[in-house]
Amino acid sequence: MIAHVKTFIFIVFILITGSKLNAKETNQPEYLKYVDEIVADFAKDMGKRYELHFYGSGGSMPTDVEKIEVLFISHQQSTVDNARKMEVNGIQSLLQRINTHEKLRPYLREYPFKTDRVCLSISFRTETDDRPLDGSVASVFLARNKIFYRSAEIQMEEPTPLTYMNEKNEVVKEFIGGGPKEKLIPLMEETYEEALKIVGITHCPNQK
């Protein structure tokens, strides 16, 4: 079941980002090869520093590099402080790689590339690959220059009513679904500037 869920998430991620993940076509634009190089090196570094597992990448790159997204999974329990440190240091590292890659620079939508053009998402899982239900951070991601933290909990979901006509032309009403469901809920959010100060980074030329 977990494998099917992962496959579904992976496909949806491709559709949302609007670009192929880790494209390998021989006729792909040159800038996609440079992005792949950056992401591969970045993923390797984050794996060593924080034991994060690379899960996918994408973004918006139809004619140039407009946005880059990278997704990781961690099998560690995380507090907000730990998640913030990984997120901020990861974003700074990714931006540094993008902005110092001279071959990629002509293809960037803007230079220097800034925080509103990158997205780093970290999903925290248990050893059984489930979301933690103990109140710790289940996910952290950057969007619109804000860092969002989510926890997970089990909530009771109301069944969905379904009405249809049976073979005897009778109206039949049934209820489907419902019961306990795992949900991601807001834990906290903060601006990227606030997170930088907490982590101890006082100067960030790549901020919007």
Mean pLDDT of 105-123: 95
pLDDT of residue 125: 95
Q: How confident is the model at residue 122 (pLDDT cuts 50, 70, 90)?
A: very high
For the stretch 5-36, pLDDT in tens is: 444 444 444 434 444 444 444 577 898 999 99
For residue 91, pLDDT over 60 is answered with: yes
Cβ burial of 175 (10 Å; 0-12, 13-18, 19+) is exposed
Whole-angstrom Cα Rg for the chain: 20
pLDDT of residue 21: 44
For the stretch 143-177, pLDDT in tens is: 989 999 999 998 888 888 888 888 888 888 888 88
**Average pLDDT of the residues of the chain:** 85
SS3 category, 40: helix
Is the overall model pTM greater than 0.85, yes or no? no
Pairing of strands 146-157, 67-74: unpaired
Q: Which residues are registered as beta bridge partners of 56?
A: 71
CA 121 – CA 143 distance, rounded (Å):
9
For the stretch 54-72, pLDDT in tens is: 999 988 988 899 999 999 9
